Structure 1
């Protein structure tokens, strides 16, 4: 009997891992929380070989570019999820599921693909057609919406982190002394935009509402997008400087903790990530120094003070960001860099427009004309003959083409 039970648990784990990660391209975190926190990172095939029939075993729902379970390393967004702390509500798990089934699923929220008994609570998981981390602000907006709807049923505010780990079916919850198990499964894969369009229409206001102040929901979505871009830029700067941040360590860590607090809304996770980033520095600060240097970031976040909403110019000046480094940034850029990018975008749009109209840009016309001149000269034609053949009436203009071509090595 025991052997049969273990086989059933094993099958449930394989099925769960397969549903979540069979097509995953990134790293998946496996963690154990017993006497302290331990984590490892695996590719999908390696993950299947691990033992999950233990107490308090978790895996990440989303995947990572590298072996770090941090926001800036997110690679694929695989699912939305909500952790219901049922034991705090006064309801039973059965009562909550019946209530959600009758009044919520496919009405105010989509039907979850997995309902998991986590021990003292429930996990609701909505599977997604994988999208890159670039879609994280929208993912976060949907997560916030699901939380707001499910708050009366014990939705955990601290479990909205996209790097979150959840208990694995078949593992044991040491607090409840029960095995984590899948209660219900619904075979469907959602598109992120599908959930947005059907359940979060207020975000579309960004397109429709051109005048006046945006709604609170739209404003929060924009602000969160900015925080995420800032976090990515800070890490990019660390990479460009090969983590030799001496002279800017305190400020880098302060900004990182500040933006993480606002994006994750989880101060404990933000501090843990800041300490981990510090350990990557060539010359790291002590843990005490990191906490002291960045403490005010959390204080400002908790007070909802906006004093540290630095402008781009200020950040560039404080961090001594060079023009070359700016070209790698997403949002911490000067007006000059912004104009340069706008010029590139405008030129690209112009070329696309000409292409649709079957036309060439002036630059392309000149390149084609000079290629013809070169070809005719190589065939032995004289300059006057080439001018007649190409319809060039001005000798000065023709000579200018020849000079340019020789100067740039197009002619000998």
Structure 2
């Protein structure tokens, strides 16, 4: 849908306009970050708390997406509200005005969607696309869209290191100390996008449903590469989620598996975020949650090869499920809570459960009862007749069942406390 961007004039409180636009319906935790002479301070707020804060200070940022917990890590994402692009225009040969004119004439609505917010961040520009909130499992598709926008906007200074769903951006109304200017909203558009709409219009090679770790669309090498990356990220995201779930199930009281968990977490984060600094910060935070955390030097040394492999691009660690289950000592009970770290036995159990639920759904659609439901109804009738004082032969006649069958039900019901 093509809509003309509205020019934003002067507002008394641009921070509130911005926060309401991004987080007007948010239910999760929003991260606020302050940078002061190199010191980094991070706190988390709900929407109503955030709106009461004075943002007319230097170097104040907030997250575009929200979190289930007060930890700004990828597996804690609750609502993905936005797609964003940080343009370091000062690194290009163009002025901001030239870039905006070019984008308006040749890109918006043609090569890329029309952004909802264009913000002057001081030395650069932010482009923000509001989307109907999607859960964290949509991150591989979100990331694919971010990658597409980055490639389209690279010549305008798009920041490769800012393609992060946990990213914080400067708040309009605050001051950028590097340029000594106020961050301002330049233009806005009220239309809210759908992530799938963007995918279908601009990235048609990505499948609507992922069916496996690798999907062969048979549409040429370009399509295969896109799908491969899309599904690789799906796997990395699931792996990271499972690693944190293991920590939670064990109440972070882990010793023997700490190193491998932190190593794998850093490895998968590097590949998913493509941001080594963010990956390192996140494993440091995860490590602090352990009952007995590793010393920082030991942690860095134990996991640094994860970053080296990522940077080399020449090899990677393709651990099989069986290997990871053995390394992490994941029990059958724990596997019930995993997404991908499951054994063949757990896979078969889930498949049986899926087939059973599918069978039950089909019966309900046809207006039929399951065998268990039929047995339940029959036993209720038997109980009612017994309590009414009827003899067994009379009950058999009424229910049209053999006496042997009736006695078997009565024995079962007495044994399980269903009949006195």
TM-score by length of 1: 0.94
Q: Look up the SS of the partner of 1:300 in the other structure.
A: helix
Q: Look up the SS of the partner of 2:318 in the other structure.
A: coil
The answer to whether 1:57 aligns with 2:51 is no
Q: Distance in 2 between matches of 1:207 and 1:134?
A: 11
Alignment partner, residue 293 of structure 1: 302
Q: Is the 8 A contact 2:310 2:316 kept in 1?
A: no
Structure 1 residue 304, shift from structure 2 partner: 2.3
Q: Is the 8 A contact 2:267 2:306 kept in 1?
A: yes
Q: Is the 8 A contact 1:112 1:126 kept in 2?
A: yes
The answer to whether 1:17 aligns with 2:19 is yes
Q: Is the 8 A contact 1:257 1:298 kept in 2?
A: yes
Q: Distance in 1 between matches of 2:11 and 2:160?
A: 30
The answer to whether 1:135 aligns with 2:155 is no
Q: Distance in 2 between matches of 1:77 and 1:211?
A: 28
Structure 1 residue 34, shift from structure 2 partner: 2.7
Task: Pick one of 162, 176, 190 that aligns with 2:193.
Answer: 190
Q: Is the 8 A contact 1:10 1:170 kept in 2?
A: no
Structure 1 residue 407, shift from structure 2 partner: 1.6
CA deviations on 1:200-251 (whole Å, 9 max, x unpaired) are 2111276797676971111111110111111111111111111111111111
Alignment partner, residue 259 of structure 1: 268
Q: Is the 8 A contact 1:243 1:280 kept in 2?
A: yes
CA deviations on 1:242-280 (whole Å, 9 max, x unpaired) are 111111111111011011111111011000101111111
**Residue ranges of structure 1 left out of the alignment (5+ in a row):** 1-7
Task: Pick one of 311, 319, 323 that aligns with 1:302.
Answer: 311
Q: Distance in 2 between matches of 1:59 and 1:245?
A: 33
The answer to whether 1:311 aligns with 2:320 is yes
Alignment partner, residue 5 of structure 1: none
Moved more, 8-17 or 20-29: 8-17
CA deviations on 1:104-163 (whole Å, 9 max, x unpaired) are 111121100000011111100001122222222221121112112111211111001000
Distance 1:323 1:197, change over 3 A: same
Q: Distance in 1 between matches of 2:246 and 2:12?
A: 44
Alignment partner, residue 4 of structure 1: none
Moved more, 275-284 or 48-57: 48-57
CA deviations on 1:176-197 (whole Å, 9 max, x unpaired) are 2211101101111112222122
The answer to whether 1:398 aligns with 2:406 is yes
Moved more, 112-121 or 299-308: 299-308
The answer to whether 1:353 aligns with 2:355 is no
Alignment partner, residue 388 of structure 2: 379
Alignment partner, residue 152 of structure 1: 155
Any runs of at least 4 consecutive aligned residues in structure 1 with deviations exceeding 6 A, and if so which?
Answer: 207-211
Q: Distance in 1 between matches of 2:370 and 2:311?
A: 54
**Residue ranges of structure 2 left out of the alignment (5+ in a row):** 1-9
Q: Distance in 1 between matches of 2:204 and 2:409?
A: 57
In the TM superposition, 1:89-168 aligns within 5 A as 89-168=92-171
Q: RMSD of the alignment, in Å?
A: 1.8
Structure with more helix by fraction: 1
Distance 1:153 1:307, change over 3 A: closer
The answer to whether 1:233 aligns with 2:242 is yes
The answer to whether 1:216 aligns with 2:225 is yes
The answer to whether 1:75 aligns with 2:84 is no
The answer to whether 1:324 aligns with 2:333 is yes
TM-score by length of 2: 0.93
Alignment partner, residue 45 of structure 1: 48
Q: Look up the SS of the partner of 2:90 in the other structure.
A: helix
